[in-house]
Amino acid sequence: MGERHVLVVGGGNAALCAAISAAEQGARVTLLERAPEALRGGNSRFTAGAMRVVYDGVGDLQRLMPDLSADELARTDFGRYDRAAFFDDMGRVTGYRCDPELAARLIDDSLPTLLWLRERGVRFLPLYGRQSFEVDGRVRFWGGLTVEAWGGGPGLVDALTGIARAAGVGIEYGLRARELQLAGGRVCGVVATRNGVEQRIGADAVVLACGGFEANPAWRARYLGPGWDLARVRGTRFNTGDGIAMALRAGAAARGNWSGCHAVGWDLNAPEFGDLAVGDGFQKHSYPLGIMVNARGERFVDEGADFRNYTYARYGREILAQPGQFAWQVFDAKVSHLLRDEYRIRQVTRARADTLEALARQMEGVDAAGFLASVAAFNAAVDDAAAFDPAVKDGRAAVGLAVPKSNWANRLDTPPFEAFGVTCGITFTFGGLHVDADARVISEEGEPLPGLFAAGELVGGLFYHNYPGGTGLTSGAVFGREAGRNAAVDVPARPLPPR
């Protein structure tokens, strides 16, 4: 048969994992990255590098992070995050719409895939700064999210790029795949362009791992709804739905939550697209510790409904729905030391004052009287019976309000007060292609499209309405590895080999 040629379309975590996996199976691999080399890495490069993974206690974490010191192990409560907990989180936050076979593959392969990455040179460390608090002298993790890639998203992309090159993967930057080539009903390559010049590149199989349509304002307005064309894009400008469009034209079935997306609170004055110099620093995710108000000065979400990583991906939508598409997050001195690092960057929209009245005057676009009335009502509703503990759902609530706060409710009464302006930042879209658990793209007739595989953001059917934090990179790695492995061995008239 000769050496198989696998084309991987994309340049982020999912694409690089697919390329490495295919190369390990003996295939000749070419990766086509639409972005120039300086802007490589897709959305992965803009992330903090958090990866949700099943672990049965600290022993599994030590396999992933052998650099953990004796002191760290002694003072840190890592807990455990088992298969059932991951399944429960996936079901709960997606309204039990997620495909059970995709979820099972994601969850069951999460630890083996991260160990596979570790064995190849990707380093991991505990996600101290974003997912833990020190309580009574011990560092306690919360929300089932414990692990991040060394160097965050940029470090992950750099590590995977080095591993791919060492495995013999050829990487072509600035080459945009525009169309799939088919012969006899089988995908056999792509049509690509560079600087307006068309190239036809043949292959035995193609892996699409080139993102969703979050950077396409026309598609956002069409599928997500009115106003979504005005959302800021957290990451790359190159994820405009190319892979989805070319697969649909080739007969792939659309699947998933096309009107849904991962969208968060993002700095009010952030640029239209992500800035690699700032990375994910424009995000503002400490809102459970304070309150969030709109232009009328009114609260509009339960900031303490759940841990941040189970609500942040849907609260961007709530902010976009407010008058003027903005909000302000407000904190007092009791919690200011607990705010995440992104609140301290230079490029931040912030107001600070010693009185609430003075703070209100600085919160651009907010009705001061409405804000002060909201704070007064909130302060009066805080129930002091439960102790404040940011590392657990403490039940410290503000009750009797039109919009309650279920946990972590503290009166805003200790100056100085701070407020941070936010708008909606879209991360990735949930709608995409019908892909099975073996990463094969499924046709509208319900059969695998021969020679076509997919991974990453364009996999439909995994996320609906919401998203458990840290699942995106893990999904990209799991299904990227699966796609590359199966693309390298897939041949006509033969089923995929047993795993």
Residue 98 has pLDDT above 70, yes or no: yes
- In a shared domain, residues 374 and 449: no
- In a shared domain, residues 290 and 360: yes
Mean pLDDT over residues 225-239, rounded?
A: 97
Alpha-carbon distance of 192 to 174, in angstroms, equals 10
Phi, psi (deg, nearest 5) at residue 257: -90, 80
Q: Examine residue 230 and state whether it is found in any structural domain, yes or no.
A: no
Q: Examine residue 218 and state whether it is found in any structural domain, yes or no.
A: no
Q: What is the pLDDT of residue 135?
A: 83
Q: Examine residue 236 and state whether it is found in any structural domain, yes or no.
A: no
Q: Examine residue 248 and state whether it is found in any structural domain, yes or no.
A: no
> DSSP E strands: which ranges in 384-439?
417-429, 432-434
Q: How many domains does the chain have?
A: 2
Percent of the chain with pLDDT over 70: 98
Mean pLDDT over residues 367-394, rounded?
A: 96
- In a shared domain, residues 337 and 416: yes
- In a shared domain, residues 31 and 170: yes
Q: Dihedral through CA 105, CA 111, CA 113, CA 117, nearest 10?
A: 160
Percent of the chain with pLDDT over 90: 94
Residue 11 has pLDDT above 60, yes or no: yes
- In a shared domain, residues 276 and 383: yes
- In a shared domain, residues 452 and 355: no
- In a shared domain, residues 97 and 206: yes
- In a shared domain, residues 435 and 399: no
Average predicted confidence (pLDDT) for the chain: 95
Of 425, 440, 465, which residue constitutes the final position of a domain? 425
Q: What is the pLDDT of residue 2?
A: 65
Residue 403 has pLDDT above 80, yes or no: yes
Of 369, 403, 425, which residue constitutes the final position of a domain? 425
Q: What distance, in Å, lies between the first and last C-alpha atoms of the chain?
A: 22
> 3-state DSSP call for residue 417?
strand
Alpha-carbon distance of 459 to 471, in angstroms, equals 13
Q: What is the CATH number of the domain that holds 359?
A: 3.90.700.10
Q: What pTM did the predictor assign?
A: 0.93
Q: Examine residue 255 and state whether it is found in any structural domain, yes or no.
A: no
Q: What is the pLDDT of residue 499?
A: 47
Q: Examine residue 67 and state whether it is found in any structural domain, yes or no.
A: yes
Q: Examine residue 224 and state whether it is found in any structural domain, yes or no.
A: no
Residue 211 has pLDDT above 50, yes or no: yes
Alpha-carbon distance of 180 to 205, in angstroms, equals 11
Q: What is the pLDDT of residue 129?
A: 80
- In a shared domain, residues 191 and 176: yes
User: Can you read off the two tokens belonging to residue 385?
Assistant: 């019976």
Residue 64 has pLDDT above 80, yes or no: yes
- In a shared domain, residues 163 and 15: yes
> 3-state DSSP call for residue 97?
coil
Residues written for the chain:
499
Of 396, 425, 454, which residue constitutes the final position of a domain? 425
- Domain of 481, in residue numbers: 5-213+430-489
Under the banding of pLDDT at 50, 70 and 90, the label for residue 137 is: confident
Mean pLDDT over residues 284-306, rounded?
A: 97
pLDDT digits (tens, 9 = 90+) for 313-343: 999 999 999 999 999 999 999 999 999 999 9
Q: Examine residue 499 and state whether it is found in any structural domain, yes or no.
A: no
- In a shared domain, residues 266 and 401: yes
Q: What is the pLDDT of residue 134?
A: 86
- In a shared domain, residues 142 and 281: no
pLDDT digits (tens, 9 = 90+) for 257-293: 999 999 999 999 999 999 999 998 999 999 999 999 9
Q: What is the CATH number of the domain that holds 463?
A: 3.50.50.60
Identify the residue with better confidence: 497 or 245: 245
pLDDT digits (tens, 9 = 90+) for 405-450: 999 999 999 999 999 999 999 999 999 999 999 999 999 999 999 9
